[in-house]
Amino acid sequence: MRIDVLTLFPEVFAPFLSTSIVGRAVERGLVCIRCVNFRDFAHDAHRSVDDKPYGGGPGMVLMCPPIVEALESLDADGGEGSLRILLTPQGERLSQAMVGEFAKLARIVLICGHYEGFDERIRTVTGAREVSIGDYVLSGGEPAAMVLIDAVVRLVPGVLGDQQSVVEESFAAGTLEYPQYTRPREFRGLQVPDVLLSGDHGRIAAWRREQSVDRTRRRRPDLLGEA
Ligand code: ADE
């Protein structure tokens, strides 16, 4: 899978792309992730990417030419047909189902905004899908792009050692994950539930299903409605 990221701050991606699960996926060639600084596509000597909003008002607005031309340069480099994703609090809320869809694609482009927002024509011209990571406003799309990349990359086949862990985890089945325990068997008077030590795989599976539904009902009843 190939992921291109349009950003004014490529340096913030460097440690993220070389650490942990994402870092290992990149190192093993399971994903190729490239950052493009769209300031390189600015037209003036000041390398401007934003300007004051027509009609007045506070802040600055990202202008069309640098972002659109950066996307066109990716198209010319084999990226035609990539899904374009604009990170914005106005977008559709990111879900595990969306992440699963994105992970099946050969190539996606993430567009990170900054300042007050995008010139509306960027939406029209790029045809990008708009994605939000939650109902709060970040100062830029970069943390949102990292959230999306992390969630997608771990679903790319071969990235996680144990593919079963993807199936069993929270949200994959529409419910939260059951409680997990590891050694020691007793910690400060707290015991591991007996059923997990029973060796009875049928009982363990039933207990986990029940815990999963019970936990979801208490913490996230909205998920049970959707399931
Ligand atoms: N950019 C600013 N806030 C955002 C959010 N909540 N989700 C995605 N991109 C954003």
Residue 226 backbone class (left: φ over 0; alpha: ψ -120 to 50; beta: rest) = alpha
User: Whose C-alpha lies nearest to ligand 1, atom 2?
Assistant: 138
Residue 133 CB less than 6 A away from ligand 1: yes
Residue 137 CB less than 6 A away from ligand 1: yes
**C-alpha 205 – ligand 1 centre gap (Å):** 38
**C-alpha 144 – ligand 1 centre gap (Å):** 6
**C-alpha 126 – ligand 1 centre gap (Å):** 18
Tell whether 185 is covered by a domain.
yes
Domain identity same for 198 and 97: no
Please give the Cα distance from 92 to 106 (Å, whole number): 21
Residue 141 CB less than 6 A away from ligand 1: yes
Q: Which CATH number do you get for residue 177?
A: 1.10.1270.20
Residue 134 CB less than 6 A away from ligand 1: yes
Domain identity same for 139 and 62: yes
Q: Which tens digit of pLDDT belongs to each residue from 116-133? A: 899 999 999 999 999 999
Q: Tokens standing for 74?
A: 């990716």
Identify the pLDDT of residue 115: 72
User: Whose C-alpha lies nearest to ligand 1, atom 4?
Assistant: 89
Q: Which CATH number do you get for residue 81?
A: 3.40.1280.10
Q: Which tens digit of pLDDT belongs to each residue from 125-172? A: 999 999 999 999 999 999 999 999 999 999 999 999 876 677 777 787
Tell whether 163 is covered by a domain.
no
Please give the Cα distance from 156 to 164 (Å, whole number): 13
Domain that holds residue 190: 173-223
Q: Tokens standing for 64?
A: 């069309």
Identify the pLDDT of residue 163: 67
Please give the Cα distance from 159 to 70 (Å, whole number): 29
**C-alpha 25 – ligand 1 centre gap (Å):** 25
Identify the pLDDT of residue 19: 98
User: Whose C-alpha lies nearest to ligand 1, atom 7?
Assistant: 132
**C-alpha 62 – ligand 1 centre gap (Å):** 15
Identify the pLDDT of residue 171: 80
Tell whether 161 is covered by a domain.
no
Identify the pLDDT of residue 216: 97
Domain tally, the chain: 2
Domain identity same for 141 and 106: yes
Domain identity same for 141 and 203: no
Mean pLDDT by 10 residues, the chain (227 residues): 98 98 98 98 97 95 98 96 97 97 98 91 98 97 98 97 74 89 98 98 98 97 82
